[in-house]
Amino acid sequence: MSGKLKLTEGIILGSIAAVVFVVAITIVAELAAPLKGWLKNTFYHHWIGKSLIAVIVFAGFSVLAFAIPHKASLEGINRLLLVLVALVLLGALVIFGFFSYETFLK
């Protein structure tokens, strides 16, 4: 049970890290042309690069959170789920807001 709790906490933390990464790289790559160019040159398309790196960020944070000794609990999973939902909705608003600003207000 303890292993399942730790693994699940790790996977939720990995998802939180992936969501934050996607929002950050989306905005930074639009503002910094060399980064978008590097993503395109390395992965054929910037979106493929973002997708693959998001998977790596997810896996890395999941493994790291699982490996770091800590006491996992259902209560912790419940708290992390709320953080994940809040960040996902906020992240979507930030992305839509950013592209709206870039299109209409900049």
Partner 1 sequence: MNPLFLNALVWHIFLGIAAIIIFAGLPLLLRGKKLNTGLLKVYSFIGFFGFVGSWITGGYYYSFYYGKAIKGGILAGTTPWVHEILMESKEHVFLFLPFLAFVVLVIVNFFSKELVTNAKLRMNLILLSVAIVTLGIVITLCGFAISGSVVGKH
Question: Please, what is the Cα angle at 15 between 57 and 13, to 5 degrees?
Answer: 95
CB of 64 to partner 1, least distance (A): 16
- For partner 1, the closer of residues 35 and 88 by Cβ is 88
Beta carbons of 40 and 46 less than 8 angstroms apart: yes
Which residues in this chain contact partner 1 in the complex, by CB under 8 A?
Answer: 4, 7-8, 11-12, 14-15, 18-19, 22-23, 26, 44-45, 47-48, 50-51, 54, 58, 74, 77-78, 81-82, 84-85, 88-89, 91-92, 95-96, 99-100, 102-104
CB of 34 to partner 1, least distance (A): 19
- Contacts for 22 with CB less than 8 Å, ≥ 6 apart: 50, 54, 91
CB of 30 to partner 1, least distance (A): 8
> For residue 96, what are the CA distances in angstroms to 15, 21, 91, 106?
20, 16, 9, 14
